[in-house]
Structure 1
């Protein structure tokens, strides 16, 4: 319930902020809503705006959505080892020290998030700490550190923003074309009414959104291969392979959702083959490492 309320409150706040920005931009540019220029402004504001607001709020949202405890002063040897390992890897990767956090979850998982490579968070689940040995945890931390060093959070935001913009823009342009075609040459003819127009827009956004999701998922899978390779460089190839093999034997489903799931070490079940998977199958990731 806490996650649902946080999700609803955050998205409502984002919509309100973007609505205000949209009205200000529309007024400043002097464009009409139902015009090509208006469609483009709406697409850019909501396509990029939502993605970048989510990026800038990513650490705050992540900490509260999973109830993460940020290690400011290590309380035991495990926390001290976690902080020291992340610090060593951050230095090797050439980035500033991320915040290190632990969250309570039975599944073996970890994720990285943050608005930039020098302002990031790496969090690990209690399940991962209890079920993996230190070599495997070190490899997982290296994987997440590679996401940070590669700037994957920003890159994914840009790709999502571009695709969102195209989805929103094309849906409205095509709905406008359909409305004009129904009206015909007779200026008295009826095009799509208000509700019908928005219904067509919603259907088109759904269709284009699925295509965009396939593209995002493909890029996400390539990003995971790169993070695995980075984890192998930071911690050792055999450690990274061992960590993935341990994940492959796990029976728990990942509990991370949304953007956090995309940046977790472990992906979800296969959907439509691999088309909508954010992570490649474990066996393919291991094979790629063995082929390095």
Structure 2
């Protein structure tokens, strides 16, 4: 199930492929000349398409998260139930402590999963959302630890740095896919070359994007450790460790085939090739790092 990082990457791929299709249909391929490929022009084209995809995905991240998850944003100026008021006060308290000048939107979505995520195009336009399952299943200290982790993501500007990295990856994806598509088109009849190049560029865009996600996911795992450390500074190391241990306990109770807590990406252990595509590190590793933190 795609949340924060997964949703961002999915939208990024869709936007980038769409831009690539439109530019191809409009004949915006000045990098292809009678002598072959103009690599300088292709690099500029790749950068424009690549960063456009990443930036549009970032701009849509908060809206897409609300829509896909059915997040009900809490109106701080409206009538509030006790749990909504407590949630707002805790998020705002952590946000001020983290140095945020504009308070993030706070929302709840209906789901039995124990889950939380933060997203948004900037620190001043961010969203912190928690599942109803998290509020029901976790104690007050554990909830505070989870919220502190999400606030740390916002304070660290992780979505922006992720976007810049994704833009660079996208640039290489577009660059390499166009070269491979051009080479593929040289092996067919001249009248079929444009069609083959068009289709091949889409296929290579998707293939290289998946491979490029390995780099993005590695960076995401690194930023999770940083968010854990930031949360420990905001709310105390013991409370953050307690939050992770509570989440681990929840994971151990779910069915073997569904051993994850989606957006917080809690895992009971990931090994092998698939671990390269994990956006979050193993829970035990995260707990260990916090325990060793001074």
TM-score bin, normalised by smaller chain? 0.7 to 0.9
2:117 corresponds in structure 1 to 111
| CA shift for structure 1 position 176 | 2.6
| CA shift for structure 1 position 40 | 3.1
2:86 corresponds in structure 1 to 81
The 1:62–1:163 alpha-carbon spacing in structure 2 relative to 1, beyond 3 Å, is same
| CA shift for structure 1 position 285 | 0.5
Runs (4+) of structure 1 moved beyond 6 Å?
10-13
Q: Which moved more, 1:192-201 or 1:162-171?
A: 192-201
Once residues 237 and 12 of structure 1 are traced to their aligned partners in structure 2, the CA distance between those partners, rounded to angstroms, is: 37
Once residues 19 and 202 of structure 1 are traced to their aligned partners in structure 2, the CA distance between those partners, rounded to angstroms, is: 8
1:175 corresponds in structure 2 to 181
The 1:272–1:163 alpha-carbon spacing in structure 2 relative to 1, beyond 3 Å, is same
The 1:179–1:13 alpha-carbon spacing in structure 2 relative to 1, beyond 3 Å, is closer
| CA shift for structure 1 position 52 | 0.9
Aligned positions, number: 271
Deviations 1:111-140 (A, max 9, x none): 001111122110010010000001000000
Q: Which moved more, 1:104-113 or 1:65-74?
A: 65-74
TM-score calculated relative to the size of structure 1: 0.80
Any conservation in 2 of the 1:267–1:277 contact (CA below 8 Å)? no
Once residues 12 and 77 of structure 1 are traced to their aligned partners in structure 2, the CA distance between those partners, rounded to angstroms, is: 41
SS of aligned partner of 1:124: strand
Deviations 1:16-46 (A, max 9, x none): 98479959x987xx93556435533442233
Q: What are the within-5 Å matches in structure 2 for residues 1-292 of structure 1?
A: 14=15, 18=19, 31=30, 35-36=37-38, 39-72=42-75, 73=78, 75-95=80-100, 96-177=102-183, 179=185, 182=187, 193-250=193-250, 251=254, 253=258, 256=262, 261=263, 264=264, 266=266, 270=270, 272-292=273-293
Deviations 1:212-271 (A, max 9, x none): 111111101000000111111111111111111111122264575xxxx4xx36369837
Any conservation in 2 of the 1:26–1:38 contact (CA below 8 Å)? no
Once residues 32 and 160 of structure 1 are traced to their aligned partners in structure 2, the CA distance between those partners, rounded to angstroms, is: 23
Deviations 1:163-204 (A, max 9, x none): 011011112123334555x59xxxxx8597234334543454
Once residues 12 and 152 of structure 1 are traced to their aligned partners in structure 2, the CA distance between those partners, rounded to angstroms, is: 19
Any conservation in 2 of the 1:22–1:42 contact (CA below 8 Å)? no
Alignment root-mean-square deviation, CA: 3.5
Any conservation in 2 of the 1:59–1:121 contact (CA below 8 Å)? yes
Runs (5+) with no aligned partner, structure 1: 184-188
| CA shift for structure 1 position 110 | 0.4
Once residues 266 and 79 of structure 2 are traced to their aligned partners in structure 1, the CA distance between those partners, rounded to angstroms, is: 26
Any conservation in 2 of the 1:105–1:255 contact (CA below 8 Å)? no
Once residues 65 and 204 of structure 1 are traced to their aligned partners in structure 2, the CA distance between those partners, rounded to angstroms, is: 27
Once residues 268 and 106 of structure 2 are traced to their aligned partners in structure 1, the CA distance between those partners, rounded to angstroms, is: 24
TM-score calculated relative to the size of structure 2: 0.79
Runs (5+) with no aligned partner, structure 2: none
Once residues 265 and 138 of structure 1 are traced to their aligned partners in structure 2, the CA distance between those partners, rounded to angstroms, is: 17
Any conservation in 1 of the 2:185–2:196 contact (CA below 8 Å)? no
1:186 corresponds in structure 2 to none
